[in-house]
A and B are shown apart, each in its own frame.
Chain A
Amino acid sequence: MTGRLGMHVPLRADPAFRWLVAWSLGAHLGLGMVLTLSPSGRALIPAPHAVMVELLTALPGAPAHRPRRQVVDEPVVIPKRPKPAKPVSPRPEARKPPPLTAAQLIAKIRKEIPAEAAGPGTSNPAARSGFVDPLLAAYRSRLQARLRRNWSGARAFAAQPSLLARFEVEINQAGKLVGIAQREGSGNRYFDESAERAIWRAAPFPAPPRGALTLDVNFRPGAVF
Chain B
Amino acid sequence: MPAWLAALWLLIAAASAVAEDRLQVDVDQGAGRAYRVAVQHFERGPGVDPELEERFHQALISGLEYSGIAEAVSPRAFLGPLETRDYEDASFQCDDWRAIGADALLQGRIESADAGLRIRFRLFDSVRCLPLGKPHRYQSEAGPSDAGRIGYLARRLADEVVRRFTGQRGVSSTQIAFVSDRGGNKEVFIMGADGSAPTRVTGNGDINLFPSWSPDADSLAYTSYKSGRPDVWLLSRGARRNGPLLGSRDAKYRGVWAPRNGDLALVMSREGNTDIYLVGENGRGLRRVTRDRSIETSPTWSPDGLRLAYVSDRSGSPQLYVRDLASGKSRRLTFEGSYNASPAWSPTGEWIVYAARSGSNFDLYLIDPDSGYTRPLVSHPRQDEEPAWSPDGRKVAFVSSRRGRTDIYVVDVDGRNLRRLTADFGNSSNPAWASWLD
Contacts and interface: CB of A to CB of B under 8 A. Distances in A.
Interface stretch (A1-9, A86-94, A208-216): A208-216
A200 B21 contact: no
A155 B30 contact: yes
B360 interface: no
Contacts of A216: 22-25
Which of A151, A153, A213 neighbours the largest number of chain B CB atoms within 10 Å of its CB? A153
Contact of B18 (A54, A119, A208): A54
29 contacts: A50-B20, A54-B18, A58-B18, A58-B19, A102-B14, A103-B14, A106-B11, A144-B27, A149-B31, A151-B33, A152-B30, A152-B33, A153-B166, A154-B32, A156-B69, A156-B168, A159-B348, A189-B167, A197-B128, A198-B27, A198-B30, A218-B25, A218-B27, A219-B27, A220-B26, A222-B28, A222-B29, A222-B30, A225-B414
Contact of B127 (A53, A102, A201, A212): A201
Contacts, number: 174
Interface in A174-221: 188-190, 193-198, 200-201, 208, 210-221
B18 A55 contact: yes
Given A58-B22, A197-B127, A216-B23, A153 B413 contact: no
A136 B25 CA distance: 11
A99 B23 contact: no
Contacts of A133: 19
A148 interface: yes
B25 A148 contact: no
B25 A143 contact: yes
A119 B24 CA distance: 7
Interface size on A, as a range, is: 35 or more
Contacts of B35: 152-153, 156
Given A51-B19, A58-B18, A155-B32, A147 B27 contact: yes
Given A147-B27, A156-B166, A222-B30, A55 B15 contact: yes
A212 B23 CA distance: 11
Given A54-B18, A99-B7, A201-B98, 9 more contacts: A52-B15, A53-B19, A139-B23, A143-B25, A144-B26, A152-B103, A198-B27, A211-B21, A213-B22
Interface of B: 3-4, 7, 10-16, 18-36, 68-70, 98, 103, 125, 127-128, 165-168, 348, 350, 366, 375, 393-394, 413-414
A190 B27 contact: no
Contacts of B36: 152
A156 B16 CA distance: 40
B15 A48 contact: yes
Contacts of B366: 225
Interface in A33-67: 45, 48, 50-55, 57-58
Which of B19, B20, B127, B413 neighbours the largest number of chain A CB atoms within 10 Å of its CB? B19
Given A102-B11, A156-B166, A201-B127, A148 B21 contact: no
Contacts of B25: 140, 143-144, 147, 215-218
A63 to B, nearest CB: 15
A224 B414 contact: yes
B24 A154 contact: no
Contacts of A220: 26-29
Nearest to B101: A201
